[in-house]
Structure 1
Amino acid sequence: MPVTRSKSVGNTSALTSQLGIVRLLEALFTCVTFSLVVHRNAWQGRNGDWCMFSWCVCFAVTILILLVEFAGLQHRIPVSWKNFPITFAMYATLMCLSASIIYPVTFIQNKDLGREERGYRIAATVFSCLSFLAYSTEVTITKAKPGEVTGYMATVPGLLKVVETFIACIIFVFISDSNSYERHEALKWCVAVYCICFILSLVVIILCIGECTGWLPCPFNKFLSGYTLLAVLMYATATIIWPIYHFDKKHGGTPSRPPYCRGSYTCFWDQMVVVAVLTAINLLVYLADLVYSARLIFIQE
């Protein structure tokens, strides 16, 4: 009697390994989060749209990554699989972190909420925080270890590129009103700094994911150090100029919080403060990026 052998379908280790389990948790937590919010129709406006976008995109791309690895299609995908999953995981970490802060601040503080409605929104916030922890765990697991040969995006400078672009996107949201920079040419220079540095960092990420770093006319590591040094210098000027022209009376700024901001946490003056703080934070990120990029050059040489 012929013996029939069962054939395993797919790469089960993609689901049962430590990384696979973490990704399954990511998909579960994000799915529960947006399901709770959708069930109660508990999101409105730009803040709500951003939170819902973050949870849905993170869930969809995580499922896609799981399916690709389960089917063993990594080599047929026209992207670098050493760079894409960890790049997405880092973006997802930041997206879920921002949603976990924005959602409760915007949608739980309402005193008119009923007990059941508030409970749903608190539960959504908890699962959003769990999503953030799951994605940050994936980044910790998959980032490059000392001496390990892997994709650039798995290194500290690669992950910092993601942070740089994400912070720049937040800055763009707060300066979307042209009144925030049209008063002075110096403020327009700050906007130029944000745009130029964002584009260059994004180009680096795209080149790494698309495995197109060889298209550059100079060695990739030296290009990184040169552009990061330029970004540090540019952000240093913006870190000084932005608060001077927004908060110094001599340059037409408002040094203290105006009366019309009372009872509001989204007034124009507050937004300009946020931009100043984020500019300083991104300067520190670029400084760390420069230090690590320089170390990579010395190690390779």
Structure 2
Amino acid sequence: MPVTVTRTTITTTTTAGSPTIVGSPRALTQPLGLLRLLQLLSTCIAFSLVANVGAWVGSMGNWCMFTWCFCFSVTLIILIVEVFGFQQRFPLSWRNFPITFAFYAALFCLSTSIIYPTTFVQFLAHGRVRDHAIAATTFSCVAFLAYALEVTWTRARPGEITGYMATVPGLLKVLETFVACIIFAFISSPNLYQSQPALEWCVAVYAICFILAAVAILLNLGDCTNALPIPFPTFLSGLAFLSVILYATALVIWPLYQFNERYGGQPRRGRDVSCSMAHAYYVCTWDRKLTVAILTGINLLAYLADLAYSTRLVFVKV
């Protein structure tokens, strides 16, 4: 008796309300699949336009090129996993990985869409290179919108059972680590903080809080939360509380020692020689200090919101 083998497909329902078919090429024709194809196309065009004319120079240019290439590569991996149904074989939690990456990608593309035109494009002469750079910036914005839309579609709704990274506290962890990475980029010059032990304390705060938030993300991506000696909600609450205290000290110390003359700071931008002239691919020292101060405040607000959500989660569990 002849036996016929047909391809097996798995159907799941997304929070957007439409079914997503995985383990089949039909996954690409669903709304989420089409959105990921848009992400793939926009990031590919962005880095191709820039690479074609060599329109990236210095650390800022490398950051932008890395962003587009990284987002393109991981999005391609996600599409391959879903088309061929490799979710069970994927080394990380598939409930948590796609939305975690989507939010990181949205933040990366947003930062690139701001950094690339302000530190590079505006200094280019009119011509083919500038046109390519402007087009790349446009597609970077498109990629940001596509990734942000995926996060909006797939994030957890009230009462829905899903992975931790799809919840508000999980997304806040992504934001906290991303902002810390931007801070690290702006304090890459040791002369910004080595003159004062208090400023070195701020750098230590950024590093400690980044590591703690990254550990929480990795525990969820690896489905290792049950390995903790204490309940995971309690761990998250303690982590958020510690980070709030540490960032509060940094929010006071960093501006005080960077912008107050009494503590050796420089209150006015005009006094910074490096800011007297506009340079491509470069952010002057005073602007770096101010940016770090602003980002410190943003991350403190993120940790405060994280603490509020985490504390509420502990009480709910109790």
| TM-score range relative to shorter protein | over 0.9
2:48 corresponds, among 35, 49, 61, to 35
Is the contact between residue 272 and residue 285 of structure 2 (CA under 8 Å) also seen in structure 1?
Answer: no
Q: Does 1:82 align with 2:95?
A: yes
Is the contact between residue 27 and residue 82 of structure 2 (CA under 8 Å) also seen in structure 1?
Answer: yes
Is the contact between residue 103 and residue 171 of structure 2 (CA under 8 Å) also seen in structure 1?
Answer: yes
State the superposition RMSD in angstroms. Answer: 1.8
Q: Offset at 1:180?
A: 1.4
Q: Offset at 1:6?
A: 7.3
Q: Offset at 1:4?
A: 8.3
1:122 partner letter: I
1:189 partner letter: W
Is the contact between residue 107 and residue 178 of structure 2 (CA under 8 Å) also seen in structure 1?
Answer: yes
2:20 equivalent in structure 1: none
Higher alpha-carbon deviation: 258-267 or 93-102: 258-267
1:294 partner letter: T
Query: In the comparison of the two structures, how many residue pairs are matched?
Result: 299
Q: Offset at 1:267?
A: 1.4
Q: Offset at 1:7?
A: 5.0
Q: Does 1:193 align with 2:211?
A: no
2:219 corresponds, among 198, 204, 207, to 207
2:235 equivalent in structure 1: 223
Higher alpha-carbon deviation: 184-193 or 144-153: 184-193
Q: What is the correspondence of 1:146-185 to structure 2 with a 5 Å cutoff? A: 146-185=158-197
Inter-partner Cα distance in structure 2 for 1:5 and 1:227: 52
Q: Offset at 1:185?
A: 1.6
Is the contact between residue 261 and residue 267 of structure 2 (CA under 8 Å) also seen in structure 1?
Answer: yes
2:251 corresponds, among 227, 230, 239, to 239
2:137 partner letter: T
Q: Offset at 1:210?
A: 0.4
2:286 partner letter: W
1:34 partner letter: F
Gaps of 5+ in 2: 10-22
Is the contact between residue 121 and residue 130 of structure 2 (CA under 8 Å) also seen in structure 1?
Answer: yes
Q: Offset at 1:277?
A: 0.8
In 2 relative to 1, CA 234–35 (structure 1 residues): closer, same or farther, beyond 3 Å?
A: same
Q: Does 1:290 align with 2:307?
A: yes
Higher alpha-carbon deviation: 32-41 or 102-111: 102-111
Inter-partner Cα distance in structure 2 for 1:196 and 1:25: 36
1:68 partner letter: V
Q: Deviations over 1:56-112 (max 9, x none)?
A: 110111010011011111011121000111111111001111111111112221252
SS in structure 2 opposite 1:211? Answer: coil
After TM superposition, the score normalised by the length of structure 1 is 0.95
Gaps of 5+ in 1: none
1:268 partner letter: T
1:263 equivalent in structure 2: 277
Identity rate, percent: 59
Is the contact between residue 100 and residue 174 of structure 2 (CA under 8 Å) also seen in structure 1?
Answer: yes
Q: Offset at 1:38?
A: 1.2
1:213 partner letter: T
Higher alpha-carbon deviation: 251-260 or 87-96: 251-260
